[in-house]
Amino acid sequence: MTAPVRAEPSIVTVSLGARSYDIVIGRDVVGSLGARIAALRPGAKAAIVTDENVARCHLATVEAALAGAGVVTSRVIVPAGEASKSYRVFEQLCEAVIASRIERGDVIVALGGGVVGDLAGFAASVVRRGLDYVQVPTTLLADVDSSVGGKTAIDSAHGKNLVGAFHQPILVLADPALLDTLPEREFRSGYAEIVKYGLLGDVAFFSWLEANWREIFARGPACEQAIAVSCRAKAVIVARDERETGERQLLNLGHTFGHALEAACGFSERLLHGEAIAIGMALAFEFSATRQGLLPKAAAERVIRHLAAAGLPTGLRDVPGPLPAVDQLMDLIAQDKKVRRGMLTFILVRGIGAAFVETGVDQREVRAFLSEKRAEQ
């Protein structure tokens, strides 16, 4: 089974009334960025926010696309890596955007992965009491996850994405050509978020991924199709629950465990976000099967088998270096944004494609489960 080659870009609309916007998915669509911004915001200037690595590969292309449509640009380049999602870099970015004389009718262009998208989107939500922004993701993970849905944030010393705002973009351009320079580890990390959409609500998509993941990794037509399916799934959920008060929490499958592991690793290259989410999803399926009795263990094993086949980590034993004690991991889990009145909320599963939100999960069960997993290391 192979994906068809598309001559025209796929367009997925995030339907939010007057704040609706399109996700344009297709190879080389970045060349249309200037024309699309000019059509949406005639006469607007653009401040391009990117990081040092992306700037070397793609900044000139984006600046040329904007200049070709008569869009005047400035640039702000931040250090690469999760450490840029900090108060210090956020302050520097806001001051740089203001210094570039960006006005209320202008736009910020977030050119980069999830770090740049989160950081630039958060700046756009507050500079001059709110600017429009456009997401141009340059990683697979950002294509299918962080660029869509308007969740913007920086990290706190207490955990990931704890300071932020909901602020929707006016356009997302997902161009698979921008992934050609992406290191294999980063690409694999992003694939974990694609798998998530199959696991939380689309068993047929998960089966398709089992059959086609190698073509996705080869960055062929299946890659574009996987991005489109994932974006379509997220767009539907965001349209129904923009501010994550109910159904949108399903998108956090694997994230309660995963974010705790990222924090334990200091939000460093030691464990990439998608790698942490792969472990988190494997743990969520195992916990649902062995501790909650919600699904056959064979289903959890099938999920773990696919993640491992794609080269993703699936257990605590796969995290390089030492991890803190279970008590410390539980403290990190307690900082999760889904905690309500001190009660743990987990995304659990009744099967592949059948995730649900479970509030009031017994901390003793989670602690005992993590103790078992630590003993396997």
Catalytic option among 85, 160, 167, 259: 259
Catalytic option among 63, 82, 186, 193: 193
Task: Return the structure tokens found at 54.
Answer: 């992306």
* Under 8 Å between Cβ of 169 and 202: no
Catalytic option among 27, 196, 255, 337: 255
Q: Enumerate residues 6+ apart whose C-beta is below 8 A from 322.
A: none
Residue 167 a catalytic site member: no
Residue 255 a catalytic site member: yes
* Under 8 Å between Cβ of 85 and 117: no
Q: Helical H runs in 11-166? A: 33-40, 52-54, 60-68, 87-99, 114-126, 140-141
Neighbours of 243 (CB within 10 A): 10
Residue 252 a catalytic site member: yes
Catalytic option among 53, 161, 212, 252: 252
Site of tokens 């998960």: 206
* Under 8 Å between Cβ of 191 and 216: yes
Residue 158 a catalytic site member: no
Nearest to 9 by CA among 173, 171, 143: 173
Strands, E assignment, the chain: 10-14, 21-25, 46-51, 73-78, 107-112, 132-137, 151-156, 159-166, 171-174, 344-349, 355-361
Catalytic option among 244, 262, 275, 286: 244
DSSP bridge pairs for 137: 112
Angle, to 10 degrees, between the axis of helix 297-309 and the axis of helix 273-286?
A: 160
Residue 58 a catalytic site member: no
DSSP bridge pairs for 51: 78
Catalytic option among 27, 196, 273, 338: 273
- Exposure string for 47-74, b = 16+ CB within 10 A, e = fewer: bbbbbebbbeebbebbbebbeeeebebb
Residue 85 to residue 94: CA distance in whole angstroms: 13
- State the Cα torsion 65-71-76-81 to the nearest 10°: -40
Residue 259 a catalytic site member: yes
Residue 244 a catalytic site member: yes
Residue 196 a catalytic site member: no
CA–CA distances in Å: residue 290 to residues 134, 218, 351? 43, 35, 13
Residue 358 a catalytic site member: no
Neighbours of 314 (CB within 10 A): 21
**Does the CA dihedral 306-308-309-311 come out positive or negative?**
positive
Catalytic option among 129, 341, 364, 376: 129
Catalytic option among 234, 306, 337, 338: 234
Total H helices, total E strands in the chain: 14, 11
Task: Return the structure tokens found at 13.
Answer: 């609309």
Annotated catalytic residues are 129, 151, 193, 234, 244, 248, 252, 255, 259, 273
